[in-house]
Structure formats: structure tokens, C-alpha cells
Structure 1
Amino acid sequence: MRLKYALMSDTSWQQMAEWQTPDTPFMSFDFWQALADTGAIGEQAGWLPIYVLIHQVDEGTTPPNAADIKNSKAHSDGDNKALAAGDKVSVTHPIAVLPVFIKGHHRGEFVFDHAWAEAYARYGVDYYPRLVSSVPYTPITGQRFWLADGERLRADIIKTALVGVDDIAQQVGASSWHGLFVTPELADIVAAAMPTDSDVRRALAAQKQGGAAAAIDIPILERQGCQFLWQNKELLKNAQPFADFEAFLATLRAKKRKTIRAERRKVGEQGIRCQRKCGDTICEEDWHAFYHCYVMTYAVRGQQPYLTLDFFMALAASMPEHLMLAQARDAHGDIIASSLFLYDKPDSKGATLYGRYWGALADYDSLHFELCYYQGIEFAIEQGLSYFDPGTQGEHKLVRGFIPTTTHSLHRVYDGRFVPAIADFCRRDKEHMAEYRRRAFDALPFNADNMPAAAASR
């Protein structure tokens, strides 16, 4: 058995195999089709996709029965000559796909390498284009491969995919490849199977000791970050899911409970009423009101939104079972704020609620906390979801019971002149983020009986 790769610019590979259900809704074919159909990815958007398709090649011989030869799906590595019994043949079937985007900017990524681009510019070297594997505009940890049914992520699949990535880089003159928000599993496999920043440091140390110059292979460099993840379990009571929002509050220190209750009370005192809608109960009027709010989030910063109303309408048509919309209405019944969530099927392992898109028509005291966090926590408890990922950034999540968790990204830099400095940057960045997560963990608001033993991890 051996593996080979092919580079494809379209999604016809989706019809070549039965594919596993992805680990998040953001890797579903419906989500990616909505991105493509509404122009969120493609050349005009600066997210030009190339798909690295991994085939497994099984070597064998043709069956001895002539009828079997005629009906066999095996094909010869040579020309189209007729097969005879005992001829060597190879059978190929797709087992994995890695999406790669050719990019000339950093927008919509959330793991920033602007300093690297500036370093290249100082030396008169082009940093663009660069290659990125991620879910566009979505800082969600998850698998970056689509896997065929019955397959699992393995080192040989990853190595073959990276050969394909290197091929793309050579063809387009890319400076680097960036795999963003990858799973800990993928990061661990890469660390065990590929040259890393540790190998770079050993090679440099050997050079400094005056020995023969050690070759520095193109490494995979890892960066780590921090996001905040809510867990649906009562640590004091044998890690059982919370019965309701008050059961969650009971795990917090008294001062924090009082603060959260006060914030929720302030929303009601402004004459604001919140409600949640799921799937097909979200009507077209709701979507227009949501998008009006969503656009305002960008307008206040003088920016245009990444995604269009048509994109969200496409999600509503193709994957409504993964959508929850939280709305805030004023005393007149008008929608003044909206927050859109996606979520896994509740019966799936590690089922998670994802807080993604928010907007309000004006500033209202504590409404962001209510619509983006507390409504999400209540929904996760009601649905029996294990986790709630509210999105990137913000210590304001930490003090509301969201636990610091490690994120991983992988980076491959092709110009060897820059590798040592960037490897050192990644090492120092990981140390800084580890200290940040430690301090964030110490600041968690749980009472002594409910402090997690270690940072959340899936």
C-alpha cells in the first residue's frame, strides 16, 4: 500500500467516496458550498481554494476468472491494453482531502503573522502569496482533513498531504503554509512525524559548537493560543451535566453569581425581552433583521462584513438543524440585536455550541453578555451539549465561567534564511501563551469546590 496525491481546483472529489461526518458543522460540505456560492471564497475574495486529494494505492494482480477481470475496477499502470490473469495492477481510492487556500492577505484568519510579513519586506523578499488551511473567517478548532469512511488521521496521510502543499507552494511561489486551529491530535502527529522547531534549535546548536554545519530541514513550526470554553458539567457532583442555569451559577463564587444575575436583570429593566429560535422556525424576516444587526458590527469600525445575507440564507436552506438564533426585542417588539449560533447534533461525542455572529443596532447595558453568553449557556444546558465555544478573544468570557483552553496552529516556512528566527519567535510565543493560560486559569470565578483540575481540553 502506498499513498499519492492529486491537486484539484474543484469539488468533484466529493463524489469519489463516502466521506465521514465532519467533527464540526463548519467542515460540512453544505457550509463550504454556501461560502463558494456567495463569493466568500474564490479568487475575488482572495481565498482561492486548491484541494489536495490523497489516494491509497493498493498493488495486486488481476483475478484468474475472465469475468472478474472484465468487471474489475482495477486499472493497469501502463496503457489501456487488455488485462490478463496475473497481470500486476493497482487499485486507487481516495481516502482524505486537505483544503489549501492561496492568499495574498491575512483577513479572516485570527492567527496573525503580520510580523513575519514585515520581516520579509525589510529584506526585500515577497511574503505573498501564502498558503492557508482553515475554515475561512472561522476561528474554530477542528479537523482540517475530510476523511473517507473507515479512515483515521495518520502520519502517512499528513506527510503525503504536505508534499502536495509543497507542490502548490513551488508552483505559485508561496512563502509559507499555515494550518490554523488544528486539533491537538493533528498537532501531536506532526510533532512526532515531521521536523519541528526543536530540530531547528538542535541544528543551530551544533553549528555554534563549531562542528559540521547541520542541515535544517523545512520544519513544521507550532504556535499556541488561548480561547475560552464553557463546560456543561458540575464538578462537585460527579461531573454531571447542569440541570439549569442556576445550577451553573452555584459553581461560581458568590460575588460572580451576584454580578451575572445583576447583568441579566439590567437587560430586563431596559424593557428588552430575549428569545431563541432554531432551524426552520427562523423565518425570512428574522434573517433580514439578524443581518441588519450583523452589518452594524462592522459598520461601527468602518468595515464591510465578510459574509452576505445570501450566505446565511443558504445555511438556513441547507443545514437548519445546526442553527440557533438568539434575538433581543425592545418594548415595542422590534428586534434590536441578534446572535447566531451553530451547534453539533446533541447526541454526538463532545457536542458543542458555537457562538459565531453577533450585532446590535445600538449600545445596551449588558445585552452583549446576555445574548452571546447567557442565552448560549441556557441553550447548551437544555440541549445536553457538552461544550460552548463562544468565539475568539476576551477575558470577559473568563470571568463568566469559560475555561482557558489551548489552540494550535502549524506553520511551514520555505525560505531557510527566515526559519531560525521564525522558529525562535514560535518558541517564545508558546512560552508567553502558556504563561497567559496559567494566569487566566488562576483567575477563574469558580468556588473552591468546583475549580477544574486543569485547563479544558478536548
Structure 2
Amino acid sequence: MPVITLSSLNEIDAAAWDALLVGAQPFVQHAFLATLEDSGSVGRNSGWLPAHQLLRGARGELLAAMPAYVKQHSYGEYVFDHGWAQACQRAGIAYYPKLLTAIPFTPVSGQRLLGAADSAGELLDALVAGLPEQGLSSLHVNFTCTDDDAVLQQRSGWLQRNDCQFHWFNRDYRDFQDFLDTLNSRKRKQMRKEREQLNGQGFTFAWHAGHELSESQWDFVYHCYANTYHVRGQAPYLTRLFFSLLAQRLPQLIRVVIASKDGRPVAMAFSLQAGDTLYGRFWGCIGEYAGLHFETCFYQGMEYAIANKLQRFDAGAQGEHKLIRGFEPVLTHSWHYLCHPGLRTAVDGFLAQERPAVQAYAEQARTALPYRQLT
């Protein structure tokens, strides 16, 4: 069956692509991925060259698909293989270009192999077989879901890598105080104090859906987002146009909380809501305010999830500081096929040591949770 490579997601009908999705998959939707391309956030100039993979049947029907990019670097992936690339450089082995199946700049687990398991497996096998003739060193599939893991586990040569994130779970809390009541006394007092200090400084918070924000408000959102990169001397991954286009195409999924001080906007947190989950994605502030990050990025999202009866709040990839605020360790998975046999053997040995270390870290992290009792 023919495997087809698309240089743009706009080369395939959105309904056909989305028909392969299972459940709430906001970041794999055609509209989200196409917005990344149409806004110039991904493309040749960014080092993310779209190379989406399709498997069609004998009658031309779409059987499987994978969002994919040819990469000349490893930035914006959140599965860190820079060490592998550096080892290749020292050994005179070409690591780039590589083929990556992932959502650009988005460390959120979800469906990466679109379509029935047998068709997705056939597409994977065809891609692996064609890597050498295309001059690609490897194929990587990042932040997979359970169904993807099952498909990849059945195939030889694939190496699994684990990492740890921190997610907050709503155990049917009536309100934020109900959540606080589940914590030990010291942590409960700490959170209450952090929130009360901000309330006493004239901060207010307002939530907005995508269609409720004006272009001037999107200017503010982008300014905050870009500032988090500028203060580190980096260029932001996303363009200003991305936010306007996404607000046009997926307004029902967008949730933005804007923090104001004495009536003046000073910070924001941008999220998507889909299914039973709130996905916190971007934060930014135009000044320095003690405790504002915790309130805007964490407590506001937790409170929103409780009020809207959402079961999970995924607030992003990093931060052990989330532990003491009730975010629990969750393992994530990625898979890697490396063509060079020596590199594959070396990385396999490294991962054999890394996986139990990550598992042990997650188990140890649970001991730092603030709950009095967690079932």
C-alpha cells in the first residue's frame, strides 16, 4: 500500500485526518497542526520541515497517518537527545537530519499513530525501511499514548524511553478549600498564605474563552508569552499569527486567564480544554511579582478544573515545585529507531539504565506529595 509524504497538512482534507483521531486529541487535530504551519511557527526556517506520513489503501482510502517533521536540530521537542547527537558528531556519524513524529513545542502525551493498529504498524514498518535511502538517521515518536505503546512494543529495533511529568488530579473536590482539606497542615497553610498575599496586593484574575479575546488582548497574550523567551535571550517558538489563527479555528478549546493588578493586565496563562483535561501551555508576565506564577499557572487552573468538573490538569513538562502543590508524578513515553547499529547498541545500553532510574525517581517523588492520605 502506498506511503505518501505531505509537505503541508493543508494537502489533506481536515475531516479525513480528524476521522482517525480517538477521543479528545486537541494537539493532533488538523486545525492545530495546520495553524503551526500557516502561522510560520514551523517550516524550513524553523528547522521543523513538515513531512507528514500517510498510508492509503488500494482504493485510495486513508488508513493511517502520522504527524511528522524532518529535523535538523533537537530544539522544541522536550525529549532530550542532544547527548546522542553529540556522541554521533564525535564518532563521525550523521545524526541529522532525523524524522520526528511529535507535536512541535508541545510535551503533551497523546495519539501519534493515527488509524487502526495494524495499519499504523504497517506505516511504521514502511517508514523504518525507507530511512536510509532518504538520508535520515532515525525515526522518533515522542509522547505516545497507551495504544501507540502497544503497537511499538511489537516491533523489533525500537527503543523505549521514559520521563516524568507532574499532573494534578481532581478527586471530585467541591471547591478549592475541599482540595486544601486533603493536604497536611503545613502545606495547606503555605498555599493559603500564597493566595492571600496576592489577594491583598490588588491582583484579580479573569478567565476567557478563545472567542472572547480581542486582537489587542491577543497582543498582550503574545507579549507575555514572548517575554518568557526574551528574558533568557531566546527567540519564541510561536509567532504572533499563531494565536490569532488558533482563536479563529479552535476558539472553543482555548482558555486564557489574565491576571491584573489594580485593573492593569500584568500576566497570563494560556491553556486548551478538551475532554476531561485542562492543558496548561504558556505563561508570561510583564513584571516581577512574588508568587504570581504559582497563582496564575497552578492555583487558577486547579480552581478552574474543580469548577468545571475536569478530572486532570496537565500544567506542562517541568517543575518539581509542582509536587508540593499536589501535582503527582506521571511517566511519559517516547520511542526511537536508530539506523546505525553501533549507535543503537549504545543508546539501548544507556536507556536500560535510565528507565529504572526514572521509575525510581517517580516513586521517590510521590513521597514528597503534600496529601495527608492519597488512595
Give the shorter-chain TM-score range: over 0.9
Partner of 2:141: 179
Deviation at 1:377, TM superposition (A): 0.7
Measured in 1, the distance between the counterparts of 2:230 and 2:15 equals 43
Match of 1:315 in 2: 246
Partner of 2:320: 395
* CA–CA separation in structure 1 for the residues paired with 2:89 and 2:213: 48
**What secondary structure does 1:274 align onto?**
strand
For 1:131, the aligned partner's letter is L
- Structure 1: 5+ residue runs without aligned partners? 58-90, 196-218, 234-240, 453-458
Residue 98 (structure 2) aligns with = 130
- Greater C-alpha radius of gyration: 1
Partners of 1:139 and 1:445 in 2: CA distance: 25
Match of 1:119 in 2: 87
Q: 1:19 maps to which residue?
A: 19
State the distance in 2 between where 1:409 and 1:15 align: 26
Query: 1:31-89: CA deviations, max 9, x gaps?
Result: 112101111121111111112212234xxxxxxxxxxxxxxxxxxxxxxxxxxxxxxxx
Q: Gaps spanning 5+ residues in structure 2: where?
A: none
Give the CA deviation at 1:429. 1.0
Residue matched to 2:3 = 5
User: SS in structure 2 opposite 1:302?
Assistant: coil
Is the aligned partner of 1:36 residue 2:4? no
User: What TM-score results when the alignment is normalised by the length of structure 2?
Assistant: 0.95
User: Does the CA contact (< 8 Å) of 1:132 and 1:179 recur in 2?
Assistant: yes
Question: Would the alpha carbon gap of residues 101 and 327 (structure 1) be closer, same or farther in structure 2, given more than 3 Å must change?
Answer: same
- Please give the alpha-carbon distance, in whole angstroms, between the structure 2 residues aligned to 1:185 and 1:327: 36
CA drift at 1:168: 4.9
Change in 2 beyond 3 A, CA 1:171/1:14 = farther
Task: Judge conservation of contact 1:184–1:408 (CA < 8 Å) in 2.
Answer: no
1:188 shift after superposition: 2.7
Shift in Å, 1:6: 2.7
Work out whether residues 21 and 111 of structure 2, in 8 Å CA contact, stay in contact via their aligned partners in 1: no
1:211 alignment counterpart: none
1:389 and 1:164 map into 2 onto residues whose CA distance is 34
State the partner residue of 1:417: 342
Structure 1 residues 148-182: Cα deviation after superposition (integer angstroms, max 9, x where no partner) = xxxx4x1x223312233225522431111111111
Please say if residues 66 and 101 of structure 2, whose CA atoms lie closer than 8 Å, have aligned partners that are also in contact. yes
Aligned amino acid, residue 274 of structure 1: F
Matched, 1:227 2:158: no
Give the share of equivalent positions with the same residue, in percent.
37
The aligned runs of 1:2-401 (5 Å cut-off) are 4-11=2-9, 12-14=11-13, 17=16, 19-21=19-21, 23-57=24-58, 91-147=59-115, 152=116, 154=117, 156-191=118-153, 193-195=154-156, 219-233=157-171, 241-331=172-262, 333-344=263-274, 348=275, 351-401=276-326
Equivalent AA in structure 1 for residue 158 of structure 2: I
| Cα deviation digits, residues 211-269 of structure 1 (max 9, x gap) | xxxxxxxx100000001111111xxxxxxx11111111111111111111111111122
Residue 357 of structure 1 aligns with an amino acid whose one-letter code is F
The separation in 2 between residues aligned to 1:15 and 1:138, in whole angstroms, is 20
Q: Which has the higher contact order (CA 8 A, sep 6+)?
A: 2
